[in-house]
Amino acid sequence: MNQHIYSLQELAHLVKGELIGQAEVKISGLASLEQATTHHISFVNGEKYIEQALHSKAGALIISRDLQSQLIHHQNFIIVDNPYLAFAMLTHVFEIKRMSRGIESTAKIHPSAMIADNTYIGHYVVIGENCVVGEGSIIESHTKLDDGVEIGNQCFIDSHVTLTGLTKMGNHVRIHANTVIGSEGFGFAPYQGKWHRIAQLGSVRIGNHVRVGSNCSIDRGALDDTILEDGVIIDNLVQIAHNVHIGENTAIAAKTGIAGSTTIGKNCILAGACGVAGHLKITDNVTLTGMSMVTKSIFESGTYSSGTGLFESGQWRRTIVRLRQLADVPLTKIGKRLDHIQAQIESLESTLNTRK
């Protein structure tokens, strides 16, 4: 473990910002506006945080030029165009990183595996035949690399991860704890009332700068491979079935599941707990809001949603009763019938009027 202390000047330099105030003030950490003390630097992510910023005890603030003058109680600032990005950059400065390198004596590594320099291989890690671990990569305790798995440079694989099915990944990939990649896809042929297992002969290919959260399951392909392109980011407890293909820089939030052979484009955002059926194509730049259910391909970029939202339970029960009646109500005809009836009445009125 390691503690970091920087002068405000050093931090301003790191984010290429302009310093206002005491260049030499010592900053030992980042904190939220609410929790910050005089040793912390905090950031003001737009107009709506001004009120909170005014009451913050932070020793310094990262802020955009146009908002700085409103903070009359503070004297130390770093002025940047994008305070959120500057904050993101500084998190890396204050992060506690594993410094140690080397191979723990309890790691079991097959003699045919190639482990590059400057790696860390934790306690009780198991690495199989013909595996590759690239330079600077960190494999935390208890992780398993089954035969033929390949990991690029500067990767981080946390504890209890299972990599199997000849999974291959590029550089700067981060896989969080207890995730399984390359496990057997759910493929069975029904025959005479029973399920006949289809051995899964494909693999998983993961690009560069990919991030997978904890407790995810990413299955290997049936024949061809399951593919995550460069820059894909995935949250926790996500299911990626066999032969799914996810395009560059697509983000997938927690608890989402994508069924077999579905292709998702680039720069998509799937919010939490979405479900995407199998064998679909979703084009680039699609956003799904939380808990969306996708049962058809999406050919047009845009934002899509599912679900009923939340109801007070009594009203919800009454709504469900109506919903069960809905199939038999000719909704689109009601308006037309009303218009038709209205016309008939007006015709009757006019007939009556002419006979006065």
Which residues are catalytic, by number? 242
Binding a copy of itself (rule: CB under 8 A), the pick from 5, 23, 114, 334 is 334
Residues in contact with a copy of itself, counted by CB under 8 A, come to a total of 142
Binding a copy of itself (rule: CB under 8 A), the pick from 257, 283, 284, 301 is 257
DSSP state of 250: -
Q: Which stretch binds a copy of itself (CB under 8 A): 20-28, 59-67, 70-78, 296-304?
A: 296-304
Nearer residue to a copy of itself within complex by CB, 23 or 137? 137
Q: Please report whether residue 245 would count as binding a copy of itself according to CB under 8 A.
A: no
Q: Please report whether residue 239 would count as binding a copy of itself according to CB under 8 A.
A: yes
The answer to whether the CB of 159 falls within 8 A of the CB of 175 is no
Q: Which residues between 32 and 91 bind a copy of itself (CB under 8 A)?
A: 32, 34-35, 82, 84-85, 87-89, 91
Rounded to whole angstroms, what are the CA distances from 271 to 175, 194, 264, 292, 303?
Answer: 20, 36, 14, 8, 11
Q: Please report whether residue 188 would count as binding a copy of itself according to CB under 8 A.
A: yes
Our CA angle for 180, 185, 188, nearest 5°, is: 150
Which distant-in-sequence residues (6+ apart) come within 8 Å of 69 by Cβ? none
d(CA 306, CA 303): 11
Rounded to whole angstroms, what are the CA distances from 194 to 113, 189, 191?
Answer: 40, 8, 6
Q: Which residues between 98 and 157 bind a copy of itself (CB under 8 A)?
A: 104, 106, 108, 122-124, 126, 129-130, 140-142, 144, 146-148
d(CA 153, CA 134): 4
Q: Which two tokens stand for residue 54?
A: 């005014």
Q: Please report whether residue 280 would count as binding a copy of itself according to CB under 8 A.
A: no
Q: Which residues between 191 and 230 bind a copy of itself (CB under 8 A)?
A: 191, 193-201, 209, 211, 213-217, 219, 222-224
